[in-house]
Amino acid sequence: MKIINLSVICLYFILAPLGGQSFAQENANIYEQLNLFGDAFDRVRRSYVEEVSDKKLVTSAINGLLADLDPHSMFLTAEEYENKKNSPLSNFAGLGLQITMSQGVAQVVAPLDNSPASVAGLRPGDLIIDVNQTPIYGMTLNQAMAEIKGGPPGSKVELLIIREGEDPFTAIAKREDIETPAVTWSIRQTEGYIRIPLFLDSTTEQIKQAVSDIKASIGESFGGLIIDLRNTPGGSIQAGIEVADLFLHDGEIVSVRNNNGDISETFTTNLNDLLDGKPIVLLADRGTAGAAEIVTGAIKDNNRGVVVGSNTFGLGSRQKIIPVGDDGYVQITVGYFYSPSGYTIEGLGIEPEVNIEPSRVIIQESRFPRRREATLRGALDVADDEEQTALSNISVENDYQLSRAFDLLRALSLLDQTDN
Amino acid sequence: MIRVFNKIAALTVLLIGLQASATAAEKSSYDHLNLFGDVFEIVREQHVSQTDGLQLIYAAITGMLAALDPHSGFMDAETYREMQERTSGQFGGLGIEVKMEDGAGVRVVRPMDETPASRAGVLAGDLITHLDGNPINDITLQEAVEIMRGPINSEIDLTISREGASDPIIITVTRDVIRLPSITYRTEGTAAYIRITSFSEQTTPGIRKAMTTLKEELGDNYQGVIIDVRNNPGGLLDQSVGVVEAFLDRGEVVITRGRDPNNVQRFTARRGDLADGKPIIVLINGGSASASEIVAGALQDHKRAIILGTQSFGKGSVQTIMPMGQYGAMRLTTSRYYTPSGRSIQATGITPDIIVEQATVEPLFPIIVEDENGEEVVESVVQTQDYQLQRARELIQALSVHQSTRINN
């Protein structure tokens, strides 16, 4: 290694006059740093107790370097890259669970609707310490995901969970084939409801279809829309931006700032508002992450709708994938997403305008049944033409946040009609 | 410009590497190292955080080593220094054992013999409230210990609140080299009992001193030695060799083998047995690892000691510390070790000759004894807290009877 040091210094002196002082200094540091790695690499190759391939050494070094930066910077083999590109659900294989890394262990972002993870009771923010008795601590995000996925459908997974305010406990789930989650809709009287379980390439078209179906079912009296993004763990950023565009007439959707704090990308609206300004209530919670937070931030900051629920997860970093070598890719975090008003999403999330935590409502029963007009003897019958046909195919009874959202939307839509 | 330049840097490292022997394998090293250089460059230029190049390299080396085995790793300069302190068993300090007294300061459990603290008159039970005049009621024990350690011959003022003294006492102590004893010793019945807590540079000298003291103390009653390495995670290889050597007249102690078949190292004992041929019992358990297993394995193979307790941990690899100048050091697994009979300890461990699980022992029937007033009372229920040690002590006595019978016949 002595020889290398010498020649590095020579090269440095030859090239130094080409650049300025600090430039030369910086490059001297780079030399020294790369040289330090070369030295370590060489000594391990020569002296380790067993023969290790250069490929393994360098791959684990690259993984170590990238994992130290942030959980989403990672090295991808050609196969992993293809897989990521072609099957957006591959991250969810097995349990239907989106995770990130926090404090060295895996953290649940959100389980997909009706997935094994959801059935097992996993919640946003839960820390996963062990998977089948294998400790997660020290693993990269990829390794932790592989550990969770790692088995055929039908196999059991035991997860050791730490949840705030509770003793550690074990959750048991059974791996299944995960079906592609689709947008669903329903209506309650004159208001529509759309559930977006995950942002995928097909999501925008599905929402357009859902909105047109809702309008057709309700007719002229269509009063507004609830967009439910609770436990929507993200998915395609592009899809998130497109969906936000569907509901905004003009304005900014989201921007990205790079390591200098400069805005490196800005996404603005292209399309007309699908709802022509009809009121929107957007439901969000701690399981609202990534692309779903971009939509939440865009709707909120453009004053296009009211965000109801709890603070969102705070997953808002922009990755770029760069090919390196013959068949590898570096996925690297190049910036953070900022909502149109300039708030960073990463680590903080979006705060709802109306904070409503999941709750249970216990109605107080009165001791004596109250008398009402209809119970009076000889009361007049309701006039036929005044009879309401309550059109509703969604139950809100066990969902406090949703019922409050509907109440709010109803009020907004009534107010909207008065304005007109 | 930087882009081009970095590329050249990476290439240079590689090209020189190639000069050593331009084989096909070297060519692939070239590609792999080049890939590393590319990733390093991408991260430095594009990652969202202001990355420190050296930090990136540390993370890379750490990642590379961590992927090898649980014992290989990278130590930055600070961690390396701490490790050196630990294995040498010495540092500049005062020589007191302390514990935290919440909200008040640190309490002296005891000053160690022949240390600056004991020379300056610090007593067990003293409450240290200030260090160099600064109150320490709101710092951690770790922080207090850090302040008390320092360069040899430097001074520190301790403000002490002592029971019976109305005013705080200020004692100035000059820091000196403190050697952490890696062993404790005492007599156990007729046996010399030595407990080794870890293998540092102080271990072998400590054993010699302990044996001299204990043999003198026991005199004619001396019947054997109990070496306790339970819950001893190991330490320096040469110190385990030193311990075995102290009790073995001749023979191999341990053999290490690296990847290269020619890289075999044999450690042998020189003449001399501090135990004078008396029986030796080595106490082991699941917490006995590495150097502890070398000691147990060697003395077992030579039938010089009886191993008593439970199966040991099973760490049969040797790490070499490779200093990297100002940057710290690598800790790399470079060989496996084998006991003199050729057994590998890796993942199996040492099986005791006599398996004794740790237990407490209670008598089945009450034992009536007379107390100091001559009244009959039931003897305290638990007879022993350390069943393994009790068994070792009894074994020493039994073996000694057996040996003397043999001699008499």
Nearest Cα residue to B360 out of B337, B381, B330, B334: B381
**pLDDT score, position B229:** 97
SS3 A304: coil
**How crowded is residue B19: how many other Cβ atoms within 10 Å of its Cβ?**
11
**pLDDT score, position B383:** 64
Query: For residue B67, what are the contacts with CB-CB under 8 A and spacing of at least 6?
Result: A56, A57, A60, A63, A64
| The amino acid at B195 | R
CB A285 within 8 A of CB A401: yes
- pLDDT tens track of chain B, all 409 residues? 333 334 334 434 443 443 444 444 455 677 888 899 999 999 999 999 878 999 999 999 999 999 999 899 999 998 898 888 888 888 888 988 888 887 788 999 888 888 899 899 999 889 999 999 999 988 888 888 888 988 888 999 999 999 888 899 999 999 998 887 789 999 999 999 999 999 999 999 999 999 999 999 999 999 999 999 999 999 999 999 999 999 999 999 999 999 988 889 999 998 889 999 999 999 999 999 999 999 999 999 999 999 999 999 999 999 999 999 999 999 999 999 999 999 999 989 999 999 999 988 777 877 777 778 888 777 766 667 789 999 999 999 998 887 777 665 5
CB-defined contacts A:B, below 8 A: 206
Burial code (b: 16+ CB inside 10 Å, e: under 16) for B399-409 equals: bbeeeeeeeee
Within 13 Å, how many C-alpha atoms sit on residue B51's CB side? 28
Q: Which of B301, B312, B317, B335 is catalytic?
A: B301
Nearest Cα residue to B91 out of B201, B215, B3: B201
pLDDT in tens, A266-315: 999 999 999 999 999 999 999 999 999 999 999 999 999 999 999 999 99
Residues of chain A positioned with their CB less than 8 A from the CB of B40 = 33-34, 37, 65
Residues of chain A positioned with their CB less than 8 A from the CB of B29 = 45, 54
A10 at B interface, C-beta within 8 A: no
In terms of Cβ atoms closer than 10 Å to its own Cβ (0-12, 13-18, 19+), residue A19 is: middle
Annotated active-site residue B290? The verdict is: yes
B-interface mutation test, from A52, A58, A263, most B Cβ less than 10 A away: A58
Q: At what angle do helices B24-46 and B53-66 cross, to 10 degrees?
A: 130
| Reported pTM | 0.78
DSSP A235: B
For chain B, which residues make up each domain, given as ranges? 2-83, 90-179, 183-355, 368-408
B10 at A interface, C-beta within 8 A: yes
Place of tokens 């004596």: A368
Place of tokens 């399981």: A287
Q: How far is CA A398 from CA A120, A404, B287, in A?
A: 19, 11, 54
Secondary structure (DSSP) of B173-184: EE-EEEEPPSEE
Annotated active-site residue B7? The verdict is: no
CA distance A18 to A24: 8
List the single residue in B6, B8, B43 with the smallest CB-CB distance to A69: B43
pLDDT in tens, A225-260: 999 999 999 999 999 999 999 999 999 999 999 878
**pLDDT score, position B381:** 61
Provide the sign of the torsion angle of the four alpha carbons A205, A207, A211, A213, taken in this order.
Answer: positive
Window B:12-51, CB contacts with A under 8 Å: 12-13, 16-17, 19, 25, 28-29, 31-40, 42-44, 46-51
CA distance B253 to B242: 9
CA distance B328 to B325: 6
SS3 A101: strand
Residues of chain A positioned with their CB less than 8 A from the CB of B74 = 40
Within B127-179, residue ranges assigned H as helices are 141-148
How many percent of chain A have pLDDT more than 90? 71
B317 at A interface, C-beta within 8 A: yes
- ipTM associated with this complex: 0.80
List the single residue in B42, B61, B72 with the smallest CB-CB distance to A330: B42
CA distance A235 to A90: 11
A260 at B interface, C-beta within 8 A: no
- Second CATH level (architecture) for the domain B183-355: Alpha-Beta Complex (3.90)
Secondary structure (DSSP) of B293-347: HHHHHHHHHTTSSEEEES------EEEEEEE-GGG-EEEEEEEEEE-TT--B-TT
Annotated active-site residue B215? The verdict is: no
In CATH terms, is domain B90-179 a member of 2.30.42.10? yes
Nearest Cα residue to B12 out of A121, A105, A6: A6
**pLDDT score, position A265:** 94
CA distance B243 to B205: 9
Structure tokens, B226: 């109990």
Place of tokens 């084998």: B338
CA distance B351 to A211: 73
